[in-house]
Structure formats: C-alpha cells, structure tokens
Chains A and B, each alone.
Chain A
C-alpha cells in the first residue's frame, strides 16, 4: 500500500516537472528577440530536410543559446504549418503560389538551394538520351515500349511521384507542357524510387541528382547532360529551388539562421557535399510561374 502513495507522489512530481518545463520553454521563446537565444522549429520538405538538419547542427554548435528542431512531413505540411503560425519556418520544394490553399502573400520566401532532377531508367532499357517530346510521350503513355526511342524491345514501366509532391510538380512544369501524366505507379520516397528503378526492367522515373547512382541510368534530354553546370545556366530545364518560408519577416534569431543557410560556409560546404546546387552559383532565376530570366 505504501507503494501506491509513492507512485502517486511520483506522478504528481513528474507532472509538475513537465509543467515547469513547458513554462521555461515558453519564456525562452519570448525573450528571444532581446538576445540571440530562442527556439526555431523547421518543418516540411523531406528533400531539404537533410541539409537543414546538418546546418542546424553546426549552427547550434556555434550559438549555444539557439535551439533548432527540424522535422520532415512534406512540402504541403511545411507550408500549411508556417501559414497557421505553428512553426517558425516551413520548408518547401515548390513556390507557395503553386500550392493550393496557401495564401502566398502572407509568407516570405528564402531560397536556400537548388535541386536538379534527372529522368532515370533501368539499365536494361538501353536508352541514354531522349528528346523532350519523347520524354513527355513516355509519361503521358503514348510511347509504351523502349524500342520506339531507340532502346530494347521492352515495355515501359512508369514510376511516378505522388500528386502534389514537389518533385512531381517540378518535373511536370518542365517536361509535361500542361499535359497530364498517365495514371501509374506512385512512390513518394527518393530512396524507394531509386531501388525500384534499379531492379525493375523497363522502369523509368525521375530523381534528384544526389540520388542518381551507378545502379541506374540517367537520361540526357536533347543531348544535354544532367549536370550541375547545365542547371546553373538553365540548359538543363528540370530544377527547382528549395524554399524556407517564414510568416511575415523573420525575427532576429530566425534571420540569423536563415542568413547562415545562405552564407558561403553552408553554400560552399554542406550544400555541395549533400548534392544540392548552391543558390549563389545560379546564373538564372525562376519565378513562381516557371518563367526563367537571367540574373
């Protein structure tokens, strides 16, 4: 019976502790603007997550009073959470203007990196280059056999990305020319797509550059190779920004972190190491309507 009272005491004590923690956390947040300390919550795009995670780790090592939490959840989640004010920064692969249900004028865009994407096929297909029109026909289902684009007599297995994913939006904007893709298999993780393309004969999909491995064949389009250099001058058309959105102008702490993200230290180090393209290298810029202009 004595145990029971002990357990009760423990429960009460621990709940008191929890409440205490909550309070101290809140006060941290409110004093953040006066000194460089505070909490930043970053949620959204899984494509951008590894970069922000690593950068946040390094940033916190230098700024001990700033605590940064980075989570995935997808671009849609990131944008809606930052719009509702639940998080400090919402990561997205696409412009807020392109996401349904988001009021883009309330959000401030901070572009931190560029990602190039390449069509990839199973090595078996024997195809290394296609024209833009052929690629479009493959994804609308007009071309169903690799022999029609100079490859083996093997039927094409389409592996698309889910509707509304940033990768798919980027690919469709650059390639599909307003046509809708044929309904087919969908997978949402880069890793799974990579594995499926590698082991399924006739498979075709598209991946961020960093996921293109020797086990799969990347395709050139109209003779242009998918390389970082070709992205920087828009010779390679399939690329997108990685955005970090804030609701209104960021506060001092958040600004500091965002500045760090675009600093040379991150852009020349982490961004390169993790397979993204530095925002500072771009010779062109793209707007929310996919219009490309030189910088």
Chain B
C-alpha cells in the first residue's frame, strides 16, 4: 500500500494518545463519582434503617430531647431524640462563624487594600499555618487554655457551647479569611479607581464599593466556614463536655452530632439500634453538608447576575 495513504487512513500516534488521555480521565472521574455515590447510598441505607427496621419515628428523632439509644421508653420504642445534638451543632457553628466573620473580613481587607506587599505575604503564611495545625492540637489548647479561661472569667465548669465556639472560631478563621481575600481580589480594579476618582476616601471606597460588590463571595466564605465548623469533631469533643442534654446556656455541657458519633461508634455493634441511630446522625451531617453546598451554589448564581 501507498505509505502516504496508509498514514492518512490509520490513526496517528497523537490521536491514540489523545484517546488514551480521554480514557484515563473518564475512568478517574467515573471512579470518584462511584465513590461519592456509594458513600451516599451506604450512609443513607444505614441511617434509614433506624426508621424502617427499628421503627423509630422520624419526627420524634428530630424533635425528641432524650438520647439514650440502648434503652426503650414506655411504648417500647428506642429513646432516640437527636435534638440536643442538633441544637449543639448549630449552636457552636453559628456562634463560631459570628465570632470569626468580622475578624476574617478585617484581616482580608487589610491584606488586599491596606498592607504592603511584605505585610500581605506574612499574613498569608500565618493563615496558611493555621490551616495546617491538626484539630487534636486545637482541642488540646482548648482544653488547657480556653476551658479554664471560660471557667474563671465567665462562669460554669468551662465546658460548653461557648468554649466550643471559641475553639472553632480559630479553626474556621483561615477558611473564611482566605476565601474572603479571593473575593475581594476579584473586585475589578476600575471600580476602585472610579470611586477614588470621584473623591471618595479609602474607607468610603472599601465600605461602599469593594465590600458591596464582593458580598456574594463573602457570604460563600461564611457558608464554607459553617460547613467546616459543622463537621469538626475532635477539637469540639474535647471542650464541649459531651452531655447529650438540651443546652440550657452557653456555659453548660452540651454535645454535637459529631462528638456523639465519634464517641459511640466504637462501642456499638453493627446492626443494633444504637449503631443505626449513630448512622442516622451521620446521615444528618451528610445532608447538612449537601445543604451548605447548595446554598453556596445559589449564592454564586445570584452573585453573577
């Protein structure tokens, strides 16, 4: 056969490489999707078993205040009231983000608008350092510094939602800050220039132009911070006290979904009510992170318009 014809008709080396690349990429994607899906299916099927196999009432599960999975109540149903943990989780999450947001925005503004290049670099590495500290270290610092501080200066035994949110405050700060920095940097330069040209001061520019135009980005940062706080287990577990009772004040011992989960999972046997109930808690955690993700999407879409 004519070598030129052969060359034209058969696929070239490059085409084959292209195909190979595609195959590898798609295999990887398929694998990841499979993993995510199977996690969802696994947690959901385990978590649902509490309601379908053990016949617990879903509404009672969400609103009940008595968590005692190994015991049954007068009607013979397991005592699975998850409200104390749900309340605890939301309590620490919201408080931590409330504490962290002003600091995060302040730091981010300083880094993007005010600091010299050197100052910015130093702050950047400090924040990156905070991300790298393992959560058990935060928990230990919380236990040895924050708990006695709260006990001596504010009251109570020191274990509670307030201590938990102080620890989480430090843990979510880098997340919120670095994402806020990104959204502030995304503000077009000419917005700022136009504002300054109109005679606005630096503060007016920051307040009326930069912050306004990056609102959706900052909100996204806050939601990511919430997701991080909601899922944190170890550090919170060490300072919150882990009492599965409704929190009556910020200073009394409470518990979160994650802390009950980590403490109980090793002590229960697969397939029992107590174990299934823990999977139901895990399901709530999973649904919450899905919810946070959807909220981030929605904000992002609104911000683009």
Interface positions of A (Cβ within 8 A of B): 1, 4-5, 8, 11, 46, 72-77, 79-80, 83-84, 99-102, 157, 162-166, 183-188, 192, 195-196, 199-202
What's the minimum C-beta distance from A252 to chain B, rounded to whole angstroms?
A: 29
The contact sample of 8 A-B pairs, CB cut-off 8 A, is A5-B20, A76-B268, A84-B270, A100-B274, A101-B270, A164-B268, A187-B238, A199-B148
B253: A residues at CB distance < 8 A? 184-185
Fill in one digit per residue for B79-114: 1 if any A CB lies within 8 Å of its CB, else 0: 000000000000000000000000000000000000
Contact A186 B266 (CB under 8 A): no
B143: A residues at CB distance < 8 A? 192, 195-196, 199
Q: How far is the CA of A8 from the CA of B262 in the complex (A)?
A: 40
Contact A4 B21 (CB under 8 A): yes
What's the minimum C-beta distance from B302 to chain A, rounded to whole angstroms?
A: 41
B238: A residues at CB distance < 8 A? 187, 192
The one of B237, B264, B272 that contacts A163, using a Cβ cutoff of 8 Å:
B264
Max chain B Cβ within 10 angstroms of own Cβ: one of A11, A72, A75, A164: A164
Closest A residue, CB atoms, query B268: A76
What's the minimum C-beta distance from B297 to chain A, rounded to whole angstroms?
A: 33
What's the minimum C-beta distance from A24 to chain B, rounded to whole angstroms?
A: 25
B148: A residues at CB distance < 8 A? 199
Contact B269 A73 (CB under 8 A): no
Contact A74 B69 (CB under 8 A): no
Contact B20 A4 (CB under 8 A): yes
Closest A residue, CB atoms, query B160: A185
Q: How far is the CA of A11 from the CA of B151 in the complex (A)?
A: 56
What's the minimum C-beta distance from B104 to chain A, rounded to whole angstroms?
A: 30
What are the 4 A-B residue pairs with the smallest beta carbon separation, nearest first? A74-B266, A164-B267, A101-B269, A101-B272
Contact B264 A73 (CB under 8 A): no
The one of B144, B263, B271 that contacts A186, using a Cβ cutoff of 8 Å:
B263
Q: Which candidate, B34-42, B45-53, B178-186, B242-250, is the interface stretch facing chain A?
A: B242-250
Contact B20 A8 (CB under 8 A): yes
Contact B269 A1 (CB under 8 A): no
Given A163-B70, A196-B143, check contact A77 B243 (CB 8 Å).
no
B266: A residues at CB distance < 8 A? 46, 72-77, 188
A8: B residues at CB distance < 8 A? 20, 24
Contact A185 B20 (CB under 8 A): no
What's the minimum C-beta distance from A140 to chain B, rounded to whole angstroms?
A: 15
Q: How far is the CA of A72 from the CA of B272 in the complex (A)?
A: 20
What's the minimum C-beta distance from B253 to chain A, rounded to whole angstroms?
A: 5
Max chain B Cβ within 10 angstroms of own Cβ: one of A8, A11, A163, A202: A163
A79: B residues at CB distance < 8 A? 269
